[in-house]
Structure formats: structure tokens, C-alpha cells
Amino acid sequence: MPYYPVHISVNCHDPLPLVAELTTIEADSPEQALDLLRRETFVATPGVATIWLKVIISVWPNGNARQVVSTEVSVSPLHREN
């Protein structure tokens, strides 16, 4: 199975780091990678209700993402006990 670079952000317009700096996920396809990520439970600070999961499909020679599939998912709020 191929490995796909993944970026998680709060805003869909956040710039992507260079692909070499990203973590990867193993999946049969970019769509399966998104599906696997959707099954995860993400926790965020108060005020953040959703995040964007981005899977990079192809890369420019300079290391920037060329083609990306993405989806917005709900997150669980982070609860802090004092």
C-alpha cells in the first residue's frame, strides 16, 4: 500500500507545509486515507468545532503539494480540570 502525506488544520485555507515535513498514512487510495482519518477522534481547544483533514495526492518538484483531497470533520472539545 502507498503512503500519503497528511496535513490537519483548523482553517481550510491554511498553507500546507512542504510535503517532506508531513506525517503519512498508509492506504490503498487517497479516498481510503481520508476515510481512515475520519474514523479517528480528534480533540481541539475550546472554540474549535471542526478541523480539515488534507491528503496530498501529488507533489511539485519543489516539494509543495500539487493535488490535495480534503474534508471537514467535527472534533471533540478539550476539557481541562483545574
Per the prediction, the chain carries an average pLDDT of 89
CA distance 72 to 70: 7
Work out the end-to-end distance of the chain between its first and last CA atoms, rounded to an integer number of angstroms: 45
Let me know if residue 82 belongs to a domain. no
Residues 13-52: pLDDT tens digits? 998 999 999 999 999 999 999 999 999 888 888 888 899 9
**DSSP SS3 for 82:** coil
Q: What is the pLDDT of residue 82?
A: 46
Please say whether the beta carbons of 71 and 39 come within 8 A: no
For residue 80, being part of any structural domain is answered with no
* Domain residue limits at 68: 3-75
- 58-79 burial, b at 16+ Cβ within 10 Å, e below that, comes to eeeeeeebeeeeeeebebeeee
The tally of domains found in the chain comes to 1
